[in-house]
Every structure is written in structure tokens, then in C-alpha cells.
A = this chain, B = another copy of it.
Amino acid sequence: MNRFAVAGGYIIKSAGDVVRDKYIIVEDSVIKDIRDDLPEDIDTVIGGPYDIVMPGLINTHTHASMTLFRGMADDLPLMTWLKDYIFPAEAKFVDKEFVYIGSMLAAWEMTRSGTTAFCDGYFFEDQVGRAAGEIGIRAWLGEGILEFPSPSLTDPSRTIEHSREFISRWIDNDLVKPTVFPHAVYTCPPDLLKKAYELAEEFDLVFQIHLSETHSEIEQVRQRYNMTPVELMDSIGCLSERTLAAHCVVLNTREIELLARRGVSVSHNAESNMKLASGIAPVPEMIASGVNVTIGTDGCASNNNLDIIGEISSVAKLHKINTMDPTVLDECTAFAMVSENGAKALGFNGGRLAPGLPADIVVIDGHAPNLVPVYNPVSHVIYAATGSNVKDVVIAGRIIVKDYASLTVDEEALIKECRKIQKFISAQ
């Protein structure tokens, strides 16, 4: 039997529940116990007396393999960036191999920086699942549904069938869960959205979509349908507790209340929205209305890293300055967004540390210069730490990172593959 302990000086069981000097006993894939002393029969202990131990963090919106486009195009107007750089690059370079290597890189980066579960939407998602399985990170994956041909599907009339096939291949996997991922309201007409939603209902899956990301999206959808994207989604019954809406930058009060009433989860992608100057999502208003707000990094073409700890720090500070109120988005609220709220959005029984729950555990190095001294460990995670302070990571009871070393990836071989693709792209 797989059995070991995670020791910590500060155990963040959940945002508001911190205990001192405990051992978390892991058995197989779950947390068996959280206790004061180390059982005699346990030899393997990770973490230590001053370390901060917390639940694995959850990134609810990314496009993993876009790591391979990291830093390719910055500081550009949104439409120039998208139409002159990203779309052509995707058409030219995105294939199975690209998605596999890019997702390996992403899963390596995410696990090294404390993310234990992520929600992804892109093309060739089988390759993302393959990478997630190899690295050992939980993944919720959706094959992009579009009304146009995509890198992974030349015949868009097969887009729903294509997703159904993807779902059937992963529906019974423990670590990798399929989702349904229509790209957006402006790239999927209402009948396609409806079919996609029915597919999610049929298999009881998360229904993820980009929603109300930019002002130009609102304008475009309004002109075509005389409704906002949120109104359109609601008019065809696509807003529910299974809906995970990424971005939600441009919302009015009525729409916020609607999202709350329907039980929709939102993935807030602050750094991407800042870098692309899309706008600032009304996060404090959403939280006040009862919307389940979670955190995503978005893809590395617009961020440019997958450091969820850096992301949550940006989130907490951005909304303080935006509202000119330093009490907004306090550290406990921010911590919940990146842990239990994320779990809730994915229908995952995790995001907290407690006996019986999945053993997804992150250890933050209590000896890092930026984390000494400690008055409040939750404050450190939100305001002082970076992803690079993550020392050990356990996912589903498996030790993935130990003492800053990734145990499930051949780093040098992977870097070599990434550089090969970089060379190929740079030569074009």
C-alpha cells in the first residue's frame, strides 16, 4: 500500500482553517488522517516543520500547449495579436506532436508551481490527456467545438461527433476527465451551442466556454443576435451548474445576477485580461451576488506563464486598486477562489485538506527568503509567494515533485523537444 506523510508547520486545510504542526497521512490516493504525531510505521515524510502545506491549486482555464508560443508576440493590439500572430501560428504549427510536447511542458510547469488540476480547451486534446497522465496531474479537457475547420478537424459538420468520440475515450479515466468545450458564442451558432450542451448533459460533464471576454465580442454578438452573449446562452438553456464560463469581463448587473441564479461558475483570468487590455471582470460584484468565481491563467500566448500563485496575487491586488478599496478580495476569499471554488466548478471533491478527500497536496518552502517570517501563512500564499516556492507536490496520493525535482518527467529530454519546435517555428 502507498502510505506516507506530509509534514508542515502551517497546514491550510481551507482558506479559513489553518492548523499548526501536523502530519497529513496519505494512503493510496486519499488523505487518511491529519494528526499531531508521525505513526511509527511511516518512513517517507515530505515537507518539514516550518513549511506551509495546502491543498493542490486549481487552474480552471488554460490552453496548455500554447506554452510553445510563449513570448512569440507581446504588446500588440488584440486583433493584430490574434489575426496576424496566433491564428496563423495555430494553422501552421498546431498538430498532435505540438500539443503533446506543449502540454508536457505545461504540465511540468504547472506541477512545479503548485497546480494539481487544470481545465483545458484546445485541439488534439487526446494529447493533453496523454501528457497529463504521464506527468500525473488531474485534467478536465475539452476538444474545441467550432463552426469552422480547426487544426484537429477539417470538417466542422462533424464537430459534435468529434467531441463525442473524445469523451468516450476518456470517460472512465481516473485522472483525466472529458468536458464539452464550445469555443465561444461568436464562433458557435445557437444550434451548435445547444447540441454541445446536450452532449454535456448526456454524459454529465462540465460545459466550458469563453464568455463575454471583450467589448468587441459583445458588439459582434449583439449585432448578429440582438442579445448579449450571456442572454443568448440563457435563452437556449446553456447556463447551469455545469457551465464554466471563462473571462466574463463585460457583464452588467442583470447578467451577474443571472449567472448567480443559474449556478454558473466563472473562471477569472486577470493577467491575460490585463496584458491584452480586455478589461477588468466585475469579480467583487460577482462574489457578492453568489457567483462561484475561480481562477485561470489562460494560455501562455497571453500571460506568459502558468504560475497560479502569481495569478492569484495579481487578482487580489487588481480588484483592490480597481475599486480603490484595500479590503476587497481579502486573502481568504482569494485563497478559496484558487482551491475549493475551482474544485466546485469542476465537480471535483477536492480543493481542501481533510480525511477522506483526494490527496492533492502542495508544500511551500518555509525557508525561502521571501517567506520569512510567518505571521499568517494564507497571506504568504496570496501576497509573498511565487510558484517557484513550491517544494513538493502530491496528486492523487502520488509524489510528483519532491524537493523541487519533478519525478515524472525527463526534463532535459523535454526541453530538447521544445527547442526543436522553437527552432522550426523561428525559421518560418
Taking beta carbons and an 8 Å cutoff, which residues of A are in contact with B? 50, 67-68, 70-72, 74-78, 81, 105, 108-109, 112-113, 271, 273-277, 279-280, 300, 303-307, 310, 313-314, 316-318, 320-321, 323-328, 330-331, 367-370, 372-376, 379-380, 382-389, 411, 415, 418-419, 421-422, 425-426
- In the assembled complex, the Cα of A317 lies from the Cα of B278 at a distance in Å of 11
Chain B nearest CB from A316 CB (Å) reads: 8
CA distance A303 to B384 in the complex (A): 7
Taking CB atoms, residues of chain B closer than 8 Å to A418 are 372-373
Q: Can you name 12 extra interface pairs (CB under 8 A) apart from A70-B373, A277-B321, A318-B321?
A: A70-B380, A70-B384, A75-B326, A105-B369, A108-B369, A109-B370, A271-B317, A279-B321, A279-B324, A305-B383, A367-B415, A372-B419
- 21 pairs, A vs B, C-beta closer than 8 Å: A50-B419, A67-B372, A71-B374, A74-B379, A75-B327, A77-B325, A112-B369, A271-B317, A274-B317, A275-B320, A277-B323, A277-B325, A305-B385, A306-B370, A310-B313, A368-B388, A370-B387, A373-B418, A373-B419, A386-B387, A388-B389
Number of copies of this chain that the complex holds: 2
A236 to B108, CA, bound (A): 58
The A interface, classified by DSSP as helix, strand, loop or mixed, is helix
Instruction: Specify the chain B residue showing the minimal Cβ separation from A273.
Output: B321
CA distance A71 to B330 in the complex (A): 12
Given known contacts A415-B367, A419-B372, A426-B375, A276 and B326 CB-to-CB distance under 8 angstroms: yes
Distance from A244 Cβ to chain B, minimum over Cβ atoms (Å): 23
Q: Name the B residues within 8 Å of A277 (CB-CB).
A: 320-321, 323-326, 328
Chain B hits for A374, CB < 8 A: 71, 422
Assess whether B422 is in contact with A375, with CB atoms less than 8 Å apart.
Answer: yes
The residue of chain B having its C-beta at the shortest distance from the C-beta of A419 within the complex is B373
Given known A71-B380, A280-B321, contact A370–B305 (CB-CB < 8 A): yes
State in angstroms the CA–CA spacing of A76 and B326 once bound together. Answer: 6
Cβ-closest chain B residue relative to A420: B373
Among residues of B, the one whose C-beta sits closest to the C-beta of A318 is B274
